[in-house]
Chains A and B, each alone.
Chain A
Amino acid sequence: MGRGLVTAIGLILLWEAATHLLGLPPYILPAPSQVATALWLRGEVLAHHALITATEIAIGLVVGVALGTGTALLVVRSPLARRWLMPVVIASQAIPVFALAPLLVLWFGYGLASKIVMAALVIYFPVAAAFFDGLRTTPPAWIELARTMGASDGAILWRLRLPAALPALAQGLRIAAAVAPIGAVIGEWVGSGAGLGFLMLHANGRMQIDLLFAALVVLAAMAITLYYGLDAILRRLVQWQPETLGRSR
């Protein structure tokens, strides 16, 4: 983390020096100091749009995670659902979700709903796949032990398979946190009246490249905060996860 910060600061200094030395116009590449000024002067506008994007991401995450975990639980409990639903879910991943954005705007409008659906769609599959994988790979010996103890299928799912699948779900949630902002911003690019993606397009059209960069900085800060915040919570909740999973990133 510390080294990453030093590298980032080094790159920003290099960027600042390059814009001055090469004499690049601000409408091509503004200097970091100009981006910082835009951040400061347009803070209120940025905060307004950031709040909208953050809302889309948060609701998209809740909906996507709920649908993903629900699907995994359903297909694990029901062989019928596994046979009929899983092939469709897997095949659906061949469709580039971002290509659906125009349709989603058409169906759900220019407001929050289309962006929430977009974010939920990109989150859904990694969560469903990771959780399903975790649920079906419970060590068989644990399940046998539980059976000799007289456990019902429901108790085995709730007390054994579910906690055993939490490290896998946590990996799915980390991927979800990384892709959720992408989903929301793509939705905003295709059609919206607000949000950081909208602000970026708007600023681009008006040659306000410093504002575009400022919006990008806010978006990156949001995405990084979301990822590391979620990661910290998951590490705390799944402290017992095997070392290999804990170190896999």
Chain B
Amino acid sequence: MRDSAPDIRLERAGVAFDGQTLFRGLDLVLEGGRWTCLLGPSGVGKSTLLRLVADLVPGAPDGRVTAGDGGPVAGRVAFMAQQDLLLPWLDARGNVLLGQRLRGEKPDTARAETLLADLGLAQATQLRPAAMSGGMRQRVALARTLMEDRPIVLMDEPFAAVDAVTRLRLQALAAERLAGRTVLLVTHDPLEALRLGHVVHVMTGRPARLSDPIRPPGTPLRPVDDPALLALQGELLRRLAEDAE
């Protein structure tokens, strides 16, 4: 059974590559059991910040990442990237069971099949990635993330590579299935951030800074045609455009 979703705190986080400071002295709190969206232009350092939480930044980055319940962060994180990262030699079921196989655990085939069926992939359990559409592949990646059943989920532009309609469907699926977990979603799409996030931070500049938290009205999953949401989207786009100038 999954343990409760803790707050995650980043304190004085800093990363530099090749002498260039991406960001330094950043503080960020990911509220437990809620979605925090990190919005910003490409290359600003959003993914690096997410990778810092996942302990995937090489070298010795500055700052501390701690969990609010005092437990470790490592081992409680599931990761979903823009590329589906499905292994081409495994079928959908094999890909969903990857984590258990890598850890040498007994693969829970029944649960993997249930998860795939819940995501509309009951007929695709034995398909290899090459035989799947982009949307199907990303759903398998979501099933693999859910199979890990971790309280903290880090998502790096997971829906950026699919068409608009598929993206909306995947957002809905993810919002439903990952409710109650501490989620950090990195995106460059203001509408996606506003639709899914309890809290949205805008990351801009070099070295990058984080905006004060924006709390869109209502609860996720917000309708895409909500006028308040669209107005906020316009404002965020203006802010991003100003930063680009």
Contacts and interface: CB of A to CB of B under 8 A. Distances in A.
Contacts of B79: 144-145, 148
A2 interface: no
B54 A149 contact: no
A155 B102 contact: yes
A139 B128 CA distance: 18
Contacts of B81: 141, 145
B77 A148 contact: yes
Interface of B: 51, 54-56, 75, 77-79, 81, 83, 85, 87-89, 98-99, 101-104, 128, 130, 148, 154
Contacts of A107: none
A142 interface: yes
Given A148-B77, A151-B99, A159-B98, 18 more contacts: A144-B51, A144-B54, A145-B79, A147-B55, A148-B56, A148-B78, A149-B99, A149-B103, A150-B75, A150-B102, A150-B103, A151-B102, A159-B101, A159-B102, A160-B87, A163-B87, A164-B87, A240-B128
Interface SS of chain B? loop
Interface in A133-148: 139, 141-142, 144-148
A242 B51 CA distance: 28
B226 to A, nearest CB: 34
A148 B54 contact: yes
Contact of B98 (A139, A149, A240): A149
How many residues of A sit at the interface, in one of the four size bands?
20 to 34
A59 interface: no
A156 interface: yes
B102 A146 contact: yes
Contact of A149 (B55, B88, B148): B148
Contacts of A155: 101-104
A150 B83 contact: no
Q: Which 9 A-B pairs have the closest CB atoms?
A: A151-B102, A149-B99, A148-B79, A240-B88, A240-B89, A155-B102, A145-B85, A144-B56, A163-B89
A51 to B, nearest CB: 37
A164 B154 CA distance: 25
A26 to B, nearest CB: 55
A23 B61 CA distance: 83
Interface in A103-143: 139, 141-142
Contacts of A163: 87, 89
Nearest to B105: A150
Contacts of A144: 51, 54, 56, 79
A150 B87 CA distance: 17
Nearest to B80: A145
Nearest to A166: B89
A147 B56 contact: yes
B224 to A, nearest CB: 30
Interface string A170-192: 00000000000000000000000
A34 B236 CA distance: 86
Contacts of B83: 141
Contacts of A242: 88
B85 A151 contact: no
13 contacts: A139-B85, A142-B85, A148-B154, A150-B75, A150-B99, A155-B102, A155-B104, A156-B102, A159-B98, A159-B101, A159-B102, A166-B89, A240-B130
